Amino acid sequence: MSEWFEIGSEIRVTDPASRGLQYGDGLFETIAIRNGKPRLWRYHVERLTRGCERLGLVAPLATLERELESVLARCELDTAYCIAKIIVYAADTDRGYGREMPSRANVSIGLFPSTPADRQDYRNGVSTMLCETRLATGSPVAGLKSLNRVEQVLARSECLQAGVFEGFTRDADDRLICGTISNMFIVRDSRVCTPSLLRCGVAGTMRQLVINLMDRDGEEVEVRDLDENDLASADEVFITNSQLGALPVRRCGDYTWSVGDGTRHVMALLADYGIEECRS
């Protein structure tokens, strides 16, 4: 079940000729709606703005929050706890890859029901795997949430097949990058690290919030290249996602971890910030 809305005169239902479908020429955001309001709105708009700059798209971002609020006010879903998906894609121009830079973009907003992860998962951690699917490295849209997500489709389908909560993807050079629907953090000797996303991967809003909250408290999250050895020698591993907040990881294939102080500290920071899923 989902509801879709058309906003303003620039927005129309996609047809097969759309550059969004033909080329994935656009971006999206998946936003947690809590008590009728978008959570981490500023973070989502900031990434969308960077994405539009990179792809040369002009979208009505200034009025987007108002449009979303209007959609939330008139939808039939329970907006106390749901997901909003915003898709921004290049408006149709002439056939072929090339277009004017910048060019006008269409926006669609979808709303979906959502259920929180199990409380057990926040206490005991989730089970993960290393995906076989690799992410190509050196992407011109590294860190952004473009509509080009075939790698995530393949990697996420591996997780569904294996029945695990999440899968970690590596790039073509064996670097750990991120989860299929989350970002990953490693704690070792009380230091928190997360993979660099300069070559590929998606820089999540909750990842950025964790980095910012730690930084505010004078605790630096080290952003650097990580590989499987870092996973093997980690004291703790946790993941973040805009819907879930932070979740401990108890297993990845043969590697296992306990839920430790580093993870609990980050969850407490998020809970204090109002990320209700992380409230103990």
If the CB atoms of residues 203 and 211 are measured against a copy of itself, the closer one turns out to be: 203
**CB of 54: closest distance to a copy of itself in angstroms?**
8
If the CB atoms of residues 147 and 234 are measured against a copy of itself, the closer one turns out to be: 147
**CB of 199: closest distance to a copy of itself in angstroms?**
7
**Which residues in this chain contact a copy of itself in the complex, by CB under 8 A?**
2, 4, 13-25, 28, 55-56, 85, 87, 89-90, 95-101, 108, 110, 112, 133-142, 146-157, 159-161, 171-173, 180-181, 199-200
Segment holding 169, helix H or strand E: strand 166-171
- Is 150:144 a contact under the CB 8 Å cutoff? no
Q: Using CA atoms, how far apart are residues 131 and 95, in angstroms rounded to an integer?
A: 36
**CB of 148: closest distance to a copy of itself in angstroms?**
4
Q: What's the token pair of residue 5?
A: 């809305």
**CB of 16: closest distance to a copy of itself in angstroms?**
4
Q: What's the token pair of residue 99?
A: 């277009």
Q: Using CA atoms, how far apart are residues 184 and 241, in angstroms rounded to an integer?
A: 9
If the CB atoms of residues 171 and 236 are measured against a copy of itself, the closer one turns out to be: 171
If the CB atoms of residues 89 and 238 are measured against a copy of itself, the closer one turns out to be: 89
Strand partners for 81: 34
If the CB atoms of residues 13 and 80 are measured against a copy of itself, the closer one turns out to be: 13
Q: Cα 46 from chain centroid?
A: 13
CA 237 to each of CA 79, 106, 166, 184, 270: distance values in angstroms, whole numbers, following the listed order? 32, 39, 12, 7, 16
